[in-house]
Amino acid sequence: MKKWKTIASNYIYKTPYGNLRADTCQLPNGFTIDQYYVHEYADWVNAFVLTKDNQVILVEQYRHPSEQFMLEIPAGKLEEGESFEEGIIREVREETGYTSDESPIFLGEFWVNPATQTNKVINFLIVQAEKTDKQNFDVSEEIMIHLVDFEEMEKWIKERRINHYFTVSSYYMVRSYLEKSRNQS
């Protein structure tokens, strides 16, 4: 297999939230795609956060494209110069007011949608979190906090109370991580 060749590239728009680019691509078999749309977004971080009482911290906020209020794990994009770890600690503190003395546990780095997007999501687990601060929202955020017992999460997923893909996939990554940690002890 060979990579596609980009013949031309033009920006449809650029914004602080992301850019839309139209590429003209020649495939290895000679076929040309005139406008292959590429969404350029910054990488973001998210964290599955467990309190000292083994409760999951979920944030509920409105998501305009879906026209739904979603239950999600805390997430956001990095500020200039931040490491992934620094970014997720800040995002969790700002969105929830929770912090932990434990370092974030790296769970993985994944392409969000490589068919059309340029960004990755970097997943973490934060344990032993406790409420230490007030929430501090960005101007575009309005967030409610929900605490859910870890053992209830799968039930909420099956009932479709939680249907945000990154939250669901993070839950299963964390469950696997915790099971492996218990088996190694």
**Per-residue confidence band for 184, with pLDDT thresholds at 50, 70 and 90:** confident
How many percent of the chain have pLDDT more than 70?
A: 100
Confidence of residue 127 (pLDDT cuts 50, 70, 90): very high
Q: Is 88 exposed, middle or buried (0-12, 13-18, 19+ CB in 10 A)?
A: buried
Contacts of 79 (CB under 8 A, 6+ apart): 87, 90
For residue 185, pLDDT over 90 is answered with: no
Q: Where in the chain is the domain with CATH 3.90.79.10?
A: 44-184
What digits encode the pLDDT tens for the residues 158-183?
A: 999 999 999 999 999 999 999 998 88
Which H or E run contains 85? helix 84-96
**pLDDT tens, 75-117?**
999 999 999 999 999 999 999 999 999 999 999 999 999 999 9
Name the CATH superfamily housing domain 44-184. Answer: Nucleoside Triphosphate Pyrophosphohydrolase (3.90.79.10)
The model's confidence at residue 58, banded by pLDDT at 50, 70 and 90, is very high
In tens, the pLDDT along 20-40 reads 999 999 999 999 999 999 999
The pTM of this model reads 0.91
Q: How many CA atoms within 13 Å lie on the side-chain side of 163?
A: 8
Q: Which two tokens stand for residue 148?
A: 């859910």
Residue 13 has pLDDT above 90, yes or no: yes
Nearest of 94, 91, 62, 59 to residue 78 by alpha carbon: 91
pLDDT band at 1 (very low <50, low <70, confident <90, very high): very high
